[in-house]
Each structure stands twice: as C-alpha cells, then as structure tokens.
Amino acid sequence: MSARPKLPFTIYLLGATIFSLVTAEFMVAGMMPALAEAFSVSLGEVGNLIAFYALGMALGGPPVTVLLLSRGIGSKPALVGLLAVYVLAGALAAAATSYPVLALARIIMGVSSAACIGLCMTLCAAMVSNQERGRAVSVVLAGLMLSPVAGVPLTAWIEQHHGWRASAWAVVGLALVCTLLAAMRLPKGEAGGEARLGEQIKSLRTRRLWGAYLTSGLIIGATFAAFSYCTPILIQEVGLAPGQVAPMLALYGVANLIGNMVVGRFADSHTFTALGLGLVVLVLAMSGFAVAGDNLWLNLTCFIAIGLTGVALNPAMVARVMKAAEPGALVNTLHTSVITAGLAFGSWAGGAAIEAGYGLRAPLWVGAGIALLGLLSVIRPLASRRVGASPCA
C-alpha cells in the first residue's frame, strides 16, 4: 500500500495565512477590558470592534470577489495585493490613538480578509489533485481552528505582559511574513481556471443553498453573542483572575479542535444530524452557563461545551453548502460573508443586551435564543432526512 503524497509547503502557508486573519478578527475577545480602558469606551463598544471586522467581511467580500472575477485577475496577485492592504490596515489599527480610527482600520481589515480567505481556498484546490483536495482543505482550515487554541490565548498573554499594541503588532508581523512568502512561493496558476462570473451567479439560485446559509449565520451568531464577552464574564461573573483567562481560552480552543475533528468525521454522511445535535448542545450549554451562578465547575463545563459545538460545527456547515450548490469562489465567499454577518449581529446583540442593563450574562441568553432559531432551521430538513425525502442530507 503506497504512502499518501506529501502536501506542498504552500498548503501550510495558506493555513498560516488564514490563522493570522482569524486571530486578528477574534483577538479583541481576549483583551476587552484593556481596550475599554485604553480608549475610554464601554465593553459593548469594544465588542463592536469584532462586529466591525465581521461587517467588513460580510459586506466587502462578495463585491471584491465579483470585481476580481469580472476583471480576470489571477488568484495569486489578487491574494498578495489584498494581503498587503490587510497588513497596512493592521498597522493602522495597532497605531490607532482613537476609537474611530481603530474601528475604521478593523472594517478595512475585514473587507480584505473575506476575499483573502476565499482566494486561499481557491488556490488550495488548484494546487492538489481531486483525491487530495479534502485533506488539503482540512489543513488550510486548520488555521481557522487553531486561532482560538493558539492565536487568541497568545495575543491575550502578550496583552497581559506587554500591552494590547504589542499583540496587534505581532499579528501584523505574522500577516506580513505570510504576504512575502505568498509572493515568493505561491504558483501563478492558469488563467481561466475559475468558472465565469455568470455561471457562479447562476449557482446561487437555489433555496437549499440559502437555507444552508441561514443555519450557518445563526450558528456563528449564537456562538459570538456569548464568546465576544467571555473575558469579562469569566473575570467578573465566574471569578477567574485575569491571568487565568488565557489558559481558559486555550482550553476553549482545544475544545474547538476536538469538536471539529468529531464533526468532520460525520459531516458528509450525517450533515443534518451533526448540525441538529450540535445546536441542541449549544442551546443547553449557553442556558446552563447563564444560570450557573457561583458554581465554578458548572460555569467552566458549559463554557467548554460551547467550544465543542459553535465554530466546531464548521465542517457540517460547509458540507451542507457543498451539497446545495457547486462550491465556486462566489458561493464560498458569500458563505463566509453570511457567517460573518451572523458574527457581527451576535456580537452587537450581546453588547446591546449588556448596554440595556441586563447584566454581563445577558449575552449568554441572547446566544441561546439565536441557537434555538438555528435548531428550528434544521428541524424540517432533518425530519425529511429521517423519512428519506431529502437527497441532500
């Protein structure tokens, strides 16, 4: 039995690139008190920095992708150029002296990030055979899953010891290295390899695809309604010391990885079952976290259970989209945009609940409610699958 061929270095480079992009998006969650103090704003306003980044991804990603497809710009030059824009915006964020400047920089980072992630997936698929595509894609997406395990805790640790700007500059440095390596090492590819814009737009005209998009947006919205405010909740409600937050975030990230591996094993063959069960756990975990009170172990168990579901349901979300439509660049980018729109809404809704005076645990109830809507969105197709009526389950 012959050994499987090694994946090229560039596949791992694409994974590192996504790691830097996602870490920059989520790092705010690990340093909310520091940012609130530095800019003299509320925790809700700091939470909106995650929402601004996500809105940039949601609103900017599809137009940029359409522009690239219509102009016939190659994937490599497009990726390198957008990464350069991302690095400059990241530098602006790290040097920002006012909240509006930081918010603007985060929006620009989000716009370039959405298109970069789509281009990373396009380049990944072009560099390997069809038989190795699934393995290569999983390596690239590992960058997303490793962000909460290593990226967010590391930036939180750097912030604790050297300040939030040091964390921001560290992420900019990583993105710059990825940009330079991408320019030097990525293959140019062949022109015309991507489907034409008209064909990709036509693939969007299916209810099953938009049903998949809806569920994905609700899952991520529910997760980040809670996760965006986990640092103040863990410190002020659960009673953890600030120095204990980074290890807890790392443990949450490990739960993400474990959940991702488990869901990934069943995502293709049991797509709706994985989504349904995951959403049930998410609703119960968030509700339990909201009412845990002073029970330390119940608080931490529910927090880790959220990590085992939430973002970890990504393989099932992607599998549902791939079954609903041909996964071209526009389909994938729009999926990313819907997900980040859900993230933005969840972060905003959680912050709004705090601002309305419902307490620091209010985002957990918001998340549980959104997750319940997500569960309702899969009940019908799941029931159809049970009776053998759905060909795409």
pLDDT tens digits for range 49-66: 887 887 788 788 788 877
Q: Which of 256, 263, 58, 40 is nearest to 153 (CA)?
A: 256
Confidence band, pLDDT 50/70/90 cuts, at residue 261: confident
Residue 292 makes CB contacts below 8 A (sequence gap 6+) with 238, 298, 299, 302
Domain boundaries, the chain: 9-190, 198-383
How high is the pLDDT of residue 48? 85
Note the pLDDT tens digit of each residue in 180-236: 999 999 887 544 455 566 666 777 778 888 999 999 999 999 998 998 888 889 999
Helix (H, G, I), strand (E, B) or coil at 392: coil
Note the pLDDT tens digit of each residue in 338-353: 887 787 789 889 989 9
Choose the CATH number for 9-190 among 3.30.565.10, 1.20.140.10, 3.30.390.50, 1.20.1250.20.
1.20.1250.20
Say if 9-190 and 198-383 have the same CATH topology.
yes
Q: How many CB atoms lie within 10 A of CB 239?
A: 11
Distance CA 75, CA 63 (A): 15
Confidence band, pLDDT 50/70/90 cuts, at residue 134: low
Q: Are 34 and 92 in contact (CB under 8 A)?
A: no
Residue 238 makes CB contacts below 8 A (sequence gap 6+) with 292, 296, 299, 300
For domain 198-383, the CATH architecture is Up-down Bundle (1.20)
